[in-house]
Amino acid sequence: MGENRWSFGRQLYWGLIFFLGFVFLSLFFFDESERFKNLFELSLGLLAVLVACYSKRGLKILKYRPSFRRQTRWLQWLGLGCLLYMMLVGHVFSSIYALFFDRHFLDDTLVALGAATLEEGICRGFLLSGFLGLAVYYGFKRKLVWASFAAAVTFSGFHLINLLGTPVTVVSQQLFYSLAMGVFLAASYFATNNLLVPLGIHFLLDWGPSYNYQPQPSSWLTLLAVFLPLLLVSSWYLFVLDRQVSDYF
């Protein structure tokens, strides 16, 4: 792993501090305007990314970017195909196109940037790096896999806070697809060794008309058809990559 400035324990508790700080301050600013709350989330997200980069001495998570073999390259293309399939089924491209004709363009962009910076700063910036350090310290066999799933499960669990104002069915679906996306984003981070890549992917997926948006339950069959392949390919890729970079630790 990279030459971190902070220990894995310090990275983990700072990730938790940022999350709890966001929850507390969101309640504190509950009566403020949507624009104010969006700017607050973006500011906190940028701070989380900057502090995470300081803790790791940059955007990297590994000391060196892995040199890819034939199997890993093939899995990368397969994972990219799964991502594009998900974006097509989820109408991501049409949503981005529609956004440019939406009078709430600025607010929708702030929402996407705020969510991407805050969640990636916490979950991939702090937690993934911290869990990887913990796996190295305790000598776990599948370090990348364990760290990726630990960070993804935590990322998924953060969505439980939505139970305060969202139906249980919707939240249960959020838990599933955020787990799948968490593993994919971790795989993309290890593949590129650059935090800006998962951050950029996260931003694009969230970038669309969202003003006054109320989440609605989807078909479980559709969710499984879209996100299960992404989860399986990402997991397979991490297992293969784990064997390749075992000498790094």
Phi and psi at 57, nearest 5°, equal 65, 35
Helices (H), 29-91: 34-56, 70-89
- 54 inside domain: yes
CA angle centred on 127, ends 24 and 117, rounded to 5°: 60
Helix-, strand-, coil-residue percentages of the chain, each rounded to 5: 75, 0, 25
- 178 inside domain: yes
- 2 inside domain: no
- 165 inside domain: yes
- 1 inside domain: no
Rounded to whole angstroms, the Cα distance separating 187 from 237 reads 7
Answer left, alpha or beta for residue 2, where phi above 0 means left and psi between -120 and 50 means alpha. beta
Write down the pLDDT at residue 71: 83
The CA–CA distances, whole Å, from 147 to 118, 154, 212 equal 19, 11, 35
In order along its 249 residues, the chain shows pLDDT tens digits of 667 899 999 999 999 999 999 999 998 998 999 899 999 999 999 999 999 999 999 999 998 887 778 888 999 999 999 999 999 998 899 999 988 888 889 999 999 999 999 999 999 999 999 999 999 999 999 999 999 999 999 999 999 988 888 889 999 999 999 999 999 999 999 999 999 999 999 999 999 877 556 677 888 999 999 999 999 999 999 999 998 887 676
Which has the closest alpha carbon to 96: 76, 82, 117, 112? 112
Q: Which residues contact 62 (CB under 8 A, 6 or more apart)?
A: 1, 2, 190, 193, 245, 248
- 147 inside domain: yes
Rounded to whole angstroms, the Cα distance separating 198 from 60 reads 12
Write down the pLDDT at residue 108: 92
Q: Which domain holds residue 83?
A: 8-248
- The token pair at 77 is 């293309």
Only one residue has tokens 């109320």, namely 214
- 27 inside domain: yes
Write down the pLDDT at residue 2: 64
Whether the predicted model's global pTM rises above the 0.85 cut: yes
Contact 237, 81 (CB under 8 A): no
Work out how many domains the chain is built from and give that number: 1
- 118 inside domain: yes
